[in-house]
Structures are given as C-alpha cells and as structure tokens.
Amino acid sequence: MLYPTQTKIRIFMQQTLSCDCLVAGGGPAGLSAAIAAAEAGRRVIVAEYLPSPGRKLLASGSGKCNLTNALPPEALARRFSAPFRFVRPALYSYPPGAWREFLSARGVPTVSPDGFHYFPKSMRAADVLDALLRRCRTLGVTILPGTPLRKLLIRDGKISGAESGRGRVDSPRLILACGGMGYPQLGGRGSGYELAREAGHRIVPPVPALVGLRAAEGWAARLPGIILPAATVRFEKNPAGTGELIFTHNGVSGPAVLDLSGSVARHLENAAEAVLACNWQSRPPEAYREQFALWQKQDGKKQLKTLLARMLPAAFADALCEAAELPGGSSAAHLRAAQRDRLVAALTSYPLRISGTDGWSKAMATAGGVPPEEVDAKTLSSRFCAGLFFAGEMLDVGAPCGGYNIQWAVSSGRLAGSAAARL
C-alpha cells in the first residue's frame, strides 16, 4: 500500500496480533514513540484511526510545517502552561537540536527564515512525515491504518493489550498518542480520552486552542484582512500575547491572540463573554500623548483620522475613532482633553469583547486532556495503570503557537517510547 509520502509500510490484517509495545496514533507523537521503542529492540505496532498516518502533520503550518523553534530546552519548557517540572524532562531528553538532527540525517535539512521558527528547507510537511515513516520502516514497525482502538485490556491493574477495530492486539505496553480534538476532518476526535478514562484517569474537559476568536464588537467584523503587526493582548492573569493581530470576517486571529485562545475558550464555558485588553501597537500611553500634542502643534488643521492613518491602517483608524466615540472627521486642533484620553485608552487598552471561538474545525490544538499530576514526568507513564504511557496532545500541557506543539509531540513521544521499552 502506498501513502501520500510515497513510503511503503508493512500492513497486517490478522484478527489477533501481539507485540511488545502498542502505540495508538500515527501522528508525530505516536511515530516518535514507535521509533524510540523499536530502536530499543521492541516489536512495535502503531494503530492509526485514519486510512493513513500523519494527516494533521501534513496540514501543519499550511503545509510548510513549523516543526520547532530556536529556544533552548529550559526557555522552551517555560512557555508551556503546564508546570515546568512536568514538561522539562521530555524537552531536555529530546531538545530541538536533536529533532533537527534526526531530520537532517534523513535528508530533510531545516531552515529558520526569521531566526526563530524552523521549517523543513523544502517547506514541505510531507518531507517531515516521510522521514518519520521511513525510519519506522527501517526498524520494522508495523503500522495499521484504519484501526481505531476501542477498549483497553487491563488485567490486575496492568495493560495487557487493546481491542481494535480489526480485533485484539496483545501487548504489555500501550502508548496513547491519539492527539486532541482540533481539525476533526484530519483525525481530531479525542478518542484517546475515553481510553484514558478506562484506566482511571480524569480528563480536563477539552476546549479549542490556537484558534481564532469571534468578536462581539460590530466594528471589528468589518475589517477582514486588516493586520496590525505588533499588538499586545492581555486576558486575565495569562501571559500577554504579542505579535501580529489579524482581523477576520467575524473577529480576530494571529499570534497575538492564538496563545490566549485556549484560556478564553475555557472562560467561555461558564460566561457569555470574555474581554481582551488590546494595545494595538504595543506602545505606552505616554507615547500617544506626546504624538497628539505634536500633531496639535504641527498638523492642527488635519483630520484626526488622517493623522491616525499615518501609524495605523486607514480602515482601522476610522473604526477605532468610531469605537472610541470620536468624530474622526474633526481636526487635531479641536481634540479635547477628555477625547484625547478616551482615544489613548482605545489605543492602549481597548476592551475587545469576545463571544466565542472559531470552533474545533479551525482549532490547531487542544487545551485539556490527561492532567499532568496523574502522569510521571520522567517516563510519561500512568500513575494508575502499569504499562500505560501518554504522549503529545493526550496531555494537558498548553503548548503555545510557534513550533511548540510539534516539538512537544516528538519529545514526549521519544520519552514515552524509551520508557516503555525499558519496562
């Protein structure tokens, strides 16, 4: 059988199979886990729900695959919402450099166009998937496409295998790397959460993450395609989101809001709205006050919206004047102190009301899953069921946008696979 990446995989269709290590999920986490276990000499089977593995990986980064970034392991680990001590072992055991070396050794060199985000030099996610699949083939890993796991087989508190869509698979080790619920058309179904529950684990209710947000503000929806390149967005006590803010046909997206979207989605489970504090240019209020004073001296006769368009997209400047209840057609000279203060506040801490997210069909990641406190950080093994391990988005770690999710997938997969092989 031939996959989109042109890599042949051995497929067995027996009703009852056995192996040393069973991996649920054929994404980067599952394939990395399979490789690590197979490199340790274990016989490995990967059960993949879809007709072919790695479909979400193929779509990542619009097909270009932002596979990691330039941060060292410690700084990388501190960007996750999960406790540092939990994500640290996986990221230290298989850091970005090791992942890039793995790809380079298999003919997939990586590049960083902006000095931070890394991509395959070819800008083809298919090359990354192909490297993983070729290594699986070399190691004799068996991949079963179209084979969802339906039920865990547990005996005396230990994994003994699982019931699949094609029959039973006997194995004393099981790694759940089924992914989250984002992009259901590419396999995001959250099926692994039910399997984790069978083993006694609690599941933090999944919500969409790294997803666009829908604004309740009417003016925001009239600016699709407008980009503010250096915004700062805050939501409650979360770390501020920074970078591009992109207006969509129903709200906002872009790096400045994506990292906050999971927390916003969680908030909206119990509230009608969430409020983002938006500094559209990441400038302090004093900078605007000085600028307005200068305009009143040098450009007093010019319309306020014309002057604002020097630093902001014209359509956004018009909308912001409207939102701040200012007559954009009035001259700078006639800007009163109260109006100036209102405009400064609108520029530096505008309360953008959010009514929802773009949902699972647009979500690049999942917030929620197996809580870290129920998993051993050094092995990613279950604290409740011997022989059960977790990797990737099965775990509630809160990876931000920018190569973190794929790096976590391969790092956690390697750690779980290596630990399972030692069991």
Q: What is the pLDDT of residue 314?
A: 94
Q: What is the pLDDT of residue 12?
A: 47
Please return the burial class of 249, using the count of CB atoms within 10 Å of its CB with bins 0-12, 13-18 and 19+: exposed
Instruction: Determine the average pLDDT of the residues in 105-130.
Output: 98
Quick check: 342 and 326 in contact, CB under 8 A? yes
Q: Over the stretch 205-235, which tens digit does the pLDDT of each residue have? A: 999 999 999 999 889 989 999 999 999 999 9
H or E stretch at 227 = strand 227-234
DSSP one-letter code for 212: -
Quick check: 256 and 241 in contact, CB under 8 A? yes
Distances (CA, A) of 35 to 153, 218, 421: 23, 50, 11
Tokens 């099926």 locate to: 191
Percent of the residues in the chain that have a pLDDT greater than 70, as a whole number = 96
Quick check: 65 and 57 in contact, CB under 8 A? yes
Q: What is the pLDDT of residue 166?
A: 86
Determine phi and psi for 246, rounding to 5 degrees.
-115, 125
Distances (CA, A) of 112 to 65, 106, 238: 12, 18, 28
- Residue length, the chain? 423
DSSP one-letter code for 17: E
Give yes or no for residue 387 having a pLDDT over 90: yes
Give yes or no for residue 324 having a pLDDT over 90: no
CB atoms within 10 A of CB 39: 16
Q: What is the pLDDT of residue 200?
A: 97
Beta strands per DSSP E along 134-203: 142-144, 149-155, 158-164, 167-170, 174-176
Is pTM beyond 0.85? Reply is: yes
Give yes or no for residue 9 having a pLDDT over 60: no
Closest residue by Cα to residue 167 from 24, 19, 17, 1 = 17
Q: pLDDT confidence of 1, banded at 50, 70, 90? A: very low
Q: Over the stretch 22-71, which tens digit does the pLDDT of each residue have? A: 999 999 999 999 999 999 999 999 999 999 999 999 999 999 999 999 99
- The amino acid at residue 150 is R
Q: What is the mean pLDDT of the chain?
A: 93
Q: pLDDT confidence of 328, banded at 50, 70, 90? A: low
- The packing angle between helices 28-39 and 404-422, to 10°, is 30
Give yes or no for residue 127 having a pLDDT over 50: yes
Say what the alpha-carbon torsion angle 124, 125, 128, 130 is, to the nearest 10 degrees.
-90
Give the Cα separation of 167 and 189 in Å (integer): 21
Give yes or no for residue 308 having a pLDDT over 70: yes
